[in-house]
Amino acid sequence: MKKSVFLGTLAATTLIAGMASASTLDDVKARGELICGSNTGLTGFGAPDATGQYVGFDADLCKAVAAAVLGDASKVKYVPTTGETRFTALASGEVDLLVRNSTWTFSRDTDLKLDFVAVNYYDGQGFMVKKDLGVSSAKELDGATICIQTGTTTELNLADFVKSNGINYTPVTIQDDAEGQRQFLAGACDAYTTDASGLASLRATLPNPADYVILPEIISKEPLGPVVRHGDNQWGDIVRWTYYALVAAEEKGITKANIEEVATSTTDPEIKRMLGLEGDLGAMIGLDKEWAKRAIAANGNYGEIFEANIGASTPIGLARGLNAQWTQGGLQYAPPFR
């Protein structure tokens, strides 16, 4: 008798566990923790620091979302994903949000049933070679061996690029950036190709960065951004507008340091709406009034996050370029908070 009760309970629990979850926002709130799919380790974007805490440009977006939703930027659990596992991890519900240098493409957006909610970094694919190879253009790479991360858009771009330029090459497929770096340094490939930001990040970690050159060709458009599952539009809106709050904050000059002061002294109606001093934008996406304020206070605005992790003053040294505000000639443009 006891056994049958046990079996019955077991069957009931498995049935409940198998049911599809209703809403990501409810799940995150109930869990009290945001699960963020991140890179296995890409310095500047998402990599564990000396204490094992994830830091970087992408990790800061996760923190901002956690601050907006849960009120605590530290309530984030990072799940490292590889180029191959990331979308499966997101689609299966293993992570709530994927912020991992993932390129927004048509088929990923539609066929993979994912939603790219914004572009937090406009990137392009480039090549890095050793300086003593004497190569100054990617078009001189005929006959070369090229290391390439599998399961990414880069391997498709590379195949297209070499075909349109009549180049022959030998691909060396690798699983993650660390393996690619090892093989490239060991000389197992002549060139390493990935997003230009990733190359800059890799070059910054090398012992003698000056011995390596990033070739001038950018062979693709790589809009990188946070990804959520298709179908849960409320959650998608939360991530999208949290990101835009960071972008708008930079445009309006709101920083981590002055946000309290701005909140008390501002007369700008848009800032008032965004920071929850006027109206109730938060309620429209299922959050409280001060969601955006907390998100900005967590790590500062978009510009501050950029400069702190990958900007010109860091070893990675990326210029703002396309990622400057639209007012500065870049592409970062937040729709109005209204």
Partner 1 sequence: MTSVTEAPKASFRLGMLIYDTRYRSMTIQVIALALLAAVLWWLGSNLSTNLAAKGKDINFSFLWNRAGYDIDQQLISYTNDDTHSRALFVGLLNTLVVAFVGCILATIIGVFAGVARLSKNWVVARLMTVYVEVFRNVPLLLWIILAFTVFSEVMPQISDFKITQAMIDSGTPPAASMLFDGTVALSNRGTNIPYPLLTRPLGGFEFLGIPFNFSFIAIVGVFVASIMASRALNHRAKVIQEATGVRPVTWWKNVGIIVLPVTALLLALGLHWDVPYFPTTETGATKGFNFVGGVNLAHNFTALVIALSLYTGSYIAEAVRAGIMAVSRGQSEAAAALGLRSGRIMSLVVLPQALRVIVPPLISQYLNLTKNTTLGMAIGYLDLKGTLGGITMNQTGRELECMVLMMMIYLIISLLISAGMNVYNASTKLKER
Residues lying near partner 1 in the complex (CB under 8 A) are found at 14-15, 18, 20, 83-84, 87-88, 91, 107-108, 111-113, 132-133, 141, 143-145, 150-151, 155-156, 158-160, 163, 169-175, 179, 183, 186-190, 230-231
Q: How far is the CB of 147 from partner 1 (least distance, A)?
A: 9
Q: How far is the CB of 85 from partner 1 (least distance, A)?
A: 9
Decide whether 133 or 206 has the Cβ nearer to partner 1: 133
Decide whether 150 or 266 has the Cβ nearer to partner 1: 150
Tokens standing for residue 103: 């390129």
Question: 300: closest CA among 44, 61, 55, 46?
Answer: 61
Concatenating the DSSP letter of every residue in 58-87 gives HHHHHHHHHHHHHS-TT-EEEEEE-TTTHH
What are the φ and ψ backbone dihedral angles of 316, each rounded to 5 degrees? -75, -35
Q: How far is the CB of 16 from partner 1 (least distance, A)?
A: 12
Question: 152: closest CA among 201, 97, 105, 213?
Answer: 105
Decide whether 135 or 275 has the Cβ nearer to partner 1: 135
Q: How far is the CB of 207 from partner 1 (least distance, A)?
A: 16
Decide whether 149 or 242 has the Cβ nearer to partner 1: 149
Decide whether 153 or 242 has the Cβ nearer to partner 1: 153
What are the φ and ψ backbone dihedral angles of 229, each rounded to 5 degrees? -70, 145
Instruction: Name beta bridge partners: 293.
Output: none
Instruction: Name beta bridge partners: 212.
Output: 130
Decide whether 160 or 268 has the Cβ nearer to partner 1: 160
Alpha helices per DSSP H over the chain = 2-18, 24-31, 57-70, 86-91, 106-110, 153-164, 177-186, 196-205, 233-251, 259-265, 269-274, 281-284, 291-299, 302-309
Q: How far is the CB of 104 from partner 1 (least distance, A)?
A: 15
Q: How far is the CB of 119 from partner 1 (least distance, A)?
A: 21
- Give 149's DSSP letter: E
Q: How far is the CB of 141 from partner 1 (least distance, A)?
A: 8
Tokens standing for residue 3: 């056994």
Tell me how far apart the alpha carbons of residues 20 and 25 are, in angstroms, rounded to a whole number.
14
Decide whether 131 or 283 has the Cβ nearer to partner 1: 131
Q: How far is the CB of 12 from partner 1 (least distance, A)?
A: 12
Concatenating the DSSP letter of every residue in 244-281 gives HHHHHHHHTT--TTTHHHHHHH---HHHHHHTTSSS-H
Decide whether 186 or 210 has the Cβ nearer to partner 1: 186
Residue 130's contacts (CB-CB under 8 Å, 6 or more residues apart) are 187, 190, 211, 212, 213
Q: How far is the CB of 105 from partner 1 (least distance, A)?
A: 10
**Three-class SS of residue 39?**
strand
Decide whether 112 or 322 has the Cβ nearer to partner 1: 112
Given a contact cutoff of 8 angstroms between Cβ atoms, the answer to whether 125 and 154 are in contact is: yes
